[in-house]
Each structure stands twice: as C-alpha cells, then as structure tokens.
A and B are shown apart, each in its own frame.
Chain A
Amino acid sequence: MYNIVSASFGEIFLKGKNRGNFEHQLVEQIKFALKEFKGITIYKDLGKVFIETTNIDDMDGIIQKTRKIFGIVSISPSIKVEKDPEKIYEKAVELFGYLKENQNIKTFKVNTKRGDKNFPIKSMDFSAEAGGKILAAFNDVSVDVHNPDAEILIDIKKSCYISSEKIKTVGGMPVGSCGKALLLLSGGIDSPVAGYMIAKRGVAVNAIYFHTYPFTSERANEKVKQLKERLEEYCGKIKLFSINILEIHKAIKEFCREDETTILARRFMMRIAERIARENSMEMLITGESLGQVASQTMKSMIVIENAIDMPILKPLIGMDKTEIIERAREIGTYETSILPYDDCCSVFAPSHPVINPKMDNIIKSESKLNVDELIEKCISTIEIL
C-alpha cells in the first residue's frame, strides 16, 4: 500500500541557521541506516524528509530502521500521489478501504494540510470533498471529527502525501550535529547505553576497547564488535579502536599493590583514550560510570582516575540505578550481547579487595614505579581498528 515514509524532525527546528547543516546530516544518517535497501530516494519537501522506495515489499524493513534514527521524532508511512485532486481522492478512498479491511472502523475524519498555498482548493473544502468520496464508497461508516476510529491525513506539499498514522520514534538530535566524542566501550551492560545516550544528543560517537589477549579471548573482541554494530543502528558509523593493555597489567602486577590495580589501569586507559581522541579530533570522552556501582566508581576513585587527563568526560549514567540501565540496554537491544560470558579483562588482573577510597599521593607514588610513557607507547602500538 505505502510507497514512501515521511519523517518529521524534532529539535532541529530550534536550531536557526544550523538547520540546513543538521538536515544534511540527518539525510546522511538515513542513507547509512538504509544502505541494505535498493531503489531508495531520499529528499526534502517543505520541512520534512521523505524516503521513497521503488520496492514496496521493503516498507516494513525501512520503517523498522528509520525508527531508530536520532533526530527524527515521528514517521508516517504514506502514499505519494500527483497533485491532481481526482487522483488524491481516489488514493484516499483506496487507503481507507485498506485500513477498514484490517481494523474495525466505524468512524473517520479527513484532515488536509496545504503546505503549498498555490494549490487551488482550500484545506477544509478538500477534506470535506475527500470525506464525501469515502462516505459514497462505504455505506457503513460515518464522520466523527472529534474521536474518529481512523484519520486520513492529506499533506499537500510539492507533492501530495496521504497517510493515516504517525509513529513515534526515538527523537534526539541528528548524529554529528553536536561534535565528536570517544566512548570507552567494554563488553559490559553500561557503556553501550552511555554511548547511545550521548549519540542521541547529536554527538558522533567513536569507541575504544581495551583487552588483555591472550588472557582474554578473541571472542571478547567479537562481542564488542557486535555491540558496536548494534549501536551503529542508532549512531551511524562507529570507528572502534581496539588496544591490548596486557603490558600495563603485567607491569602493575609486578611493581604495584594489588588493591590499586583497577585504579592504576583505569588511569592508563584514560590517558590512551585521551590521546586517541585528540589524534582523531574528538573533544570529549564518554564512560558508562554510575556513581558507587563498583570500586572504581566511587567519588574518590573517579577523582583519582580523571586526574590523569585533561579531557572532559561525559557520564550519562551517573545517577542511574543498575536496574534502570539494564532496562535501557534491553530497549536498545544491547543487553543480550552484553551478558555473554566473554570478559574484556581477565579475572587474573582483578584485585580481590580493590581500594574504594584511593589517595592521590599513594597512586602517584605507585605510578612512579612504572615507565608510564613507554607502557602507553607499547600499548598504542597494538592498536587495531575493528
């Protein structure tokens, strides 16, 4: 039935002069999300973006993918018609018949929006005429303008679009409209959610992943790659930097106190992440930290960890409970992958009693036993882009 999807933007309207740029980004994002479909045309028509397909069998798939694109607040599956009143009436009746076949419809209304003011018939008159045609075609329905079972929307722009439903989508801002940041992505539940939330606010997200192969499995890399691919359905293309930090863990294990392992390792990760971010013109880091969740996420631990770098860190989950994060992860569709048993860090390197109130002086002292710069260089040389 439908051959086109109209997409409405949310906050882009508020953005004044940047709007053109944002719209452009959104179109790019849609192209990326729908790359698997052939015969697709994407264009703008008076304030909305339209996704037209020559293959109407793809429609369900296109709707599923489009729902996940940040920056779109709602979509309507529609029928595109020439701006010829008779043809519009005909299609409106046809669409109504299609709806009636699938639902129990007794009442309806027609609503016309005339974006193109040159169209000769006024909205009210056009709605009335179209409603009349529907009444003539189906003798068991009546008009109810207040609480109709079905609503036929006729949107007259440069072309005419007929639809009957508005599907609410994820909202947010088009990815890339608000800068670039680097997500510290582990295989866990939290970090993919954090990336999702920041991307939703228009940030182009890339990711960095730390592992300790061969103390961890190559399957852990595959798991993180899967998480990245799931996030890409919302966030667009994500560059995933994978770094082996086994040398750092070996050095910490040899020269430092066991209970400081996590804090020291996190400081190294921050330094490496900051460097990769700067080298790739990203302005901030993103982590999945939630206050007090684990030893390295107490306030004191966070102070000591962040002290290692100058770059600001976005922590969108900071005030969320684990259950809330899990709920979000399920919605996004990352949860099932996150709970696979392949860890990014071997339990060999997890202290049995980690410090929860680390002292800056002690940590700096421990770190002075390590050749920080050399270890960072060594680890960065293992970089792989997944």
Chain B
Amino acid sequence: MEVYLDNSATTKVRSEVLKQIVDVNENYYGNPSSLHRMGLQIENKIQAARKSAAKVINAKTEEMYFTGGGTESNNIAIFGHLNNIDAKNNIITTKIEHPSVNNVFNNFKDKLEVRFVKSDNMGRVDLEDLAELIDENTLLISIMHVNNEIGIVQDLDKITKLVKDKNKSIKIHVDAVQSYGKIKIDVLKLNVDTLAFSSHKIHGPKGVGGLYIRSGLNLKSMIFGGGQEKSIRPGTENTPGIVGFGEACDLVYSDFKQENQKLRELKNLYAKRLTEEIDGIKINSSLDEDGAPHILNVSFKKVRGEVLVHYLEQKGIYVSTGSACSSKARNNRILDAINLDSDFVDGTIRISLGFFNSIEEVDYVVENIKLSVNDIRKIMK
C-alpha cells in the first residue's frame, strides 16, 4: 500500500491536468509571442489559465502574473517592492516564514532594518507586537498565510487592517503558497498588495507559480528580457505548465467546499487516533479554524523524526520531518519559534494531506506509526 502524506512538499499531478500538459506539448507547442496563428492559439490558452488562477482568489485576470514557482514569486514581489530604500527604513516579517521570504529579508539586513514580529506557541502573529513594530519608516510587511510546517493560518483580515490603519503607505506581501486553493482568499476584500502562489501544491505541475499584483501597483523589475508577463517575469512562457496549472485551478474551484471538508476531517481523525493510541505525543497544529485543513504536525517523545520517516517509507507511507537526525547542532527555526519542548523537537513529523488521500488509509497509517514509534522507543530508550 502506498500512502503519500507529504502534500505540503509537493503533490501528485491530477490526470486531468496531465492530459492538458500533454495536449499543449503535442498540439499547441507554438510560442505565444509568435505573430502567426499557433502563437495566438496558445496565447488564448494562457489567458484562460490566467482567468482560472484569478478565480481562486477572486482577483482580476490582469492582476495575475505567471512565474517559475513560489520562491520566484516571493523574490519578485519583495525585491520589487523595495526599489527605493533608505537606511532609516524598516521591513517586517514573521519568524516562521519560508526560506524564500526569510532569506530575502536577511539579504536586506545591511541596507535597512529588518524586524521580526513575535508569534505565540501556535505560531499566530502577535498583533500587539506587530502594532508596536510598525512606524512611519516601515516600507513592507510580508506575512505567510499558512505556515508550511505547522499549518497555522494567520488572520490576514485583522493583520492587513491593522497595518493599513497605522500607515497606509506600507505595502503588504502575502506568501500564500500553502493556502492557495486550500483556504478561501478574496483579494477584493483583503488589503494585500502582492500575493504569491504555486502550482505544484494543488496537483498542478512543478516549475509554475504566480504572483497577484494589485492593479495600479508598480513593481520594480528584477529580470529583464522580452517583456513577457508585462516584464514582471520575462522569458518564454512555460506554456504546458501554465495550462496545466489553469486546469488544476479549475479542479480546485469545482469542488472546493467538499474537498476542504474532507481534508479537515481526515486531519482531525489522524490527530484523534494518534493521540488516543500513542503516549508521549504532542499535536503542534491547531485543530480549529486557524489550522490549515491539510497540515498536521505531530511530535513524539523519545523518537527521531528522521528515523520514523525511514521506518514508514518501508511501509510505503511518506511523511516529512523538519528536523534532521544528526549529531551536529539542530536548527529548526519554526519549531524554535513556537517554543516546542526540546524533548519533542527531534521527534517531529508532518502529515500533509491532498486530493488523493482517503479515510481508508487511516487505519494502516496509524497502525504503522504506532508500531514504528514503539520499536524506535525500544531501541532509543
């Protein structure tokens, strides 16, 4: 039995999506920039995909830009916002960002002040602290909508209101790679300026992502070339990838509620069964509305997460771990930020769910986690 529970790392492409990718490669291989009919045909398909991607977050089609993936989108947005900076300026982000935001912010440390907002033990941004950090010199705030390791969902509504109330000119970037297609986002209601998303987290192909840029906003270009994607991301479009991504967006949109509910039920069931059947366990993800429906982060005392991953892979079960089994200094920014008890840090795994997971897998997975944890504990005692 193969049970893939690493959907926050990446997902399996859905067959409908695969069909589109093959179709573009076989029949619509023209370059959208070409003047002839083949160019026009694929350009139309890309526009259709843009529409599909826009629908997921209620954006206008012309606000959507395709990129090479989530990391690229975060980089384009942050660098693009910071085109006119001074040493007295500051930018703010959380301590639990993905490296594609965290490392970009760190890169600016010698040019201006980088401020990190506190979060609580569940990873929720401390709004009071945020209010204190904001001043007239703040240029940009970048917030991760759903954290990739623990799945906490930030209250973007409150955060954006707070920010814009304090200082209207501050730009807000949202890394929505883990939430796009998983949690309802309405950019019309949210006061965000840019928002990054990715295709391969929602059963689309790898190597495609996108950036929402609120209309009227001018981002400084980072990459120069032939002017594709209105010069935000020049370079010949990844046409099969974009069309495949569009299909994945359509699929998300068609059964959003039902799918979302299924994921949440599965997540809660895993949390319940594991807590009931295994001692020395801690659930690090919120099981309430502020927990993403598809991410369950769990720690086991006296277990090495990496060893558990290898035990489970032998049974065809694929989960992930953030902490490496190594004698060298352990470094997990996210688990440190939520103050996870050191007894638990080493034994942390992430179960992340997707379209292909079902309730029928739960018995098999729970049973094998139980057996593996017991065996590892016997050896490590």
A binds B: yes
Over the window 186-217 of chain A, the binary record of Cβ atoms lying under 8 Å from chain B Cβ atoms (1 yes, 0 no) is 00000000000000000000000000011111
By secondary structure, the A interface counts as loop
Do A341 and B325 touch (CB < 8 A)? Answer: no
Do B327 and A347 touch (CB < 8 A)? Answer: yes
Do A348 and B324 touch (CB < 8 A)? Answer: no
Do A348 and B326 touch (CB < 8 A)? Answer: no
- Whether A350 is near chain B, meaning CB under 8 Å from some CB there, is yes
CB-CB contacts below 8 Å: A246-271 with B: 249-250, 253
Tell me which residues across on chain B come within 8 A of A348, comparing CB atoms.
304, 307, 325, 379-380
For A350, give the chain B residue with the smallest CB separation: B327
B312–chain A nearest beta-carbon distance, Å: 9
- Whether A63 is near chain B, meaning CB under 8 Å from some CB there, is no
Tell me which residues across on chain A come within 8 A of B314, comparing CB atoms.
214
Tell me which residues across on chain A come within 8 A of B327, comparing CB atoms.
343, 347, 350
A348–chain B nearest beta-carbon distance, Å: 6
Do B310 and A341 touch (CB < 8 A)? Answer: no
The distance in angstroms between the C-alpha atoms of A183 and B326, with both chains bound, is 25
For B379, give the chain A residue with the smallest CB separation: A250
| Complex partner residue of A214 from B311, B324, B328, CB under 8 angstroms | B311
- Whether A346 is near chain B, meaning CB under 8 Å from some CB there, is yes
Tell me which residues across on chain A come within 8 A of B311, comparing CB atoms.
214
The distance in angstroms between the C-alpha atoms of A347 and B324, with both chains bound, is 11
> Which one of A214, A215, A218, A341 has the highest number of Cβ atoms from chain B below 10 Å of its Cβ?
A214
Do B307 and A215 touch (CB < 8 A)? Answer: yes
- Whether B247 is near chain A, meaning CB under 8 Å from some CB there, is no
- Whether B279 is near chain A, meaning CB under 8 Å from some CB there, is no
Do A217 and B379 touch (CB < 8 A)? Answer: no
| Complex partner residue of A217 from B306, B328, B380, B381, CB under 8 angstroms | B306
B322–chain A nearest beta-carbon distance, Å: 15
> Which one of B311, B313, B328, B379 has the highest number of Cβ atoms from chain A below 10 Å of its Cβ?
B379
Tell me which residues across on chain A come within 8 A of B328, comparing CB atoms.
341
The distance in angstroms between the C-alpha atoms of A347 and B381, with both chains bound, is 14
A190–chain B nearest beta-carbon distance, Å: 17
Do A346 and B325 touch (CB < 8 A)? Answer: yes
The distance in angstroms between the C-alpha atoms of A311 and B380, with both chains bound, is 34
A214–chain B nearest beta-carbon distance, Å: 3
CB-CB contacts below 8 Å: B307-336 with A: 307, 310-311, 313-314, 324-328
The distance in angstroms between the C-alpha atoms of A26 and B327, with both chains bound, is 44
Tell me which residues across on chain A come within 8 A of B324, comparing CB atoms.
341
CB-CB contacts below 8 Å: B335-381 with A: 379-381
State whether A213 and B310 are in contact (beta carbons under 8 Å apart), knowing that A341-B324, A348-B304 are contacts in the complex: yes
A354–chain B nearest beta-carbon distance, Å: 13
State whether A343 and B310 are in contact (beta carbons under 8 Å apart), knowing that A250-B379, A253-B379, A348-B304 are contacts in the complex: no
A349–chain B nearest beta-carbon distance, Å: 9
Tell me which residues across on chain B come within 8 A of A215, comparing CB atoms.
304, 307, 310, 325, 379
The distance in angstroms between the C-alpha atoms of A376 and B304, with both chains bound, is 26
Over the window 320-364 of chain A, the binary record of Cβ atoms lying under 8 Å from chain B Cβ atoms (1 yes, 0 no) is 000000000000000000000101001110100000000000000
A residues whose Cβ falls under 8 Å from a Cβ of B = 213-218, 249-250, 253, 341, 343, 346-348, 350
B residues whose Cβ falls under 8 Å from a Cβ of A = 304, 306-307, 310-311, 313-314, 324-328, 379-381
User: 6 shortest A-B CB distances, which residue pairs?
Assistant: A214-B310, A347-B327, A214-B311, A215-B307, A250-B379, A348-B380
Known A214-B314, A250-B379, A348-B325; 9 more pairs at CB < 8 Å: A214-B311, A214-B313, A215-B304, A215-B379, A341-B326, A347-B325, A348-B379, A348-B380, A350-B327
**Can you pick out 18 interface pairs between chain A and chain B where the beta carbons lie within 8 Å of each other?**
A214-B307, A214-B313, A215-B307, A215-B310, A215-B325, A215-B379, A217-B306, A217-B310, A249-B379, A341-B324, A341-B326, A343-B326, A346-B304, A347-B325, A347-B326, A348-B304, A348-B307, A348-B379
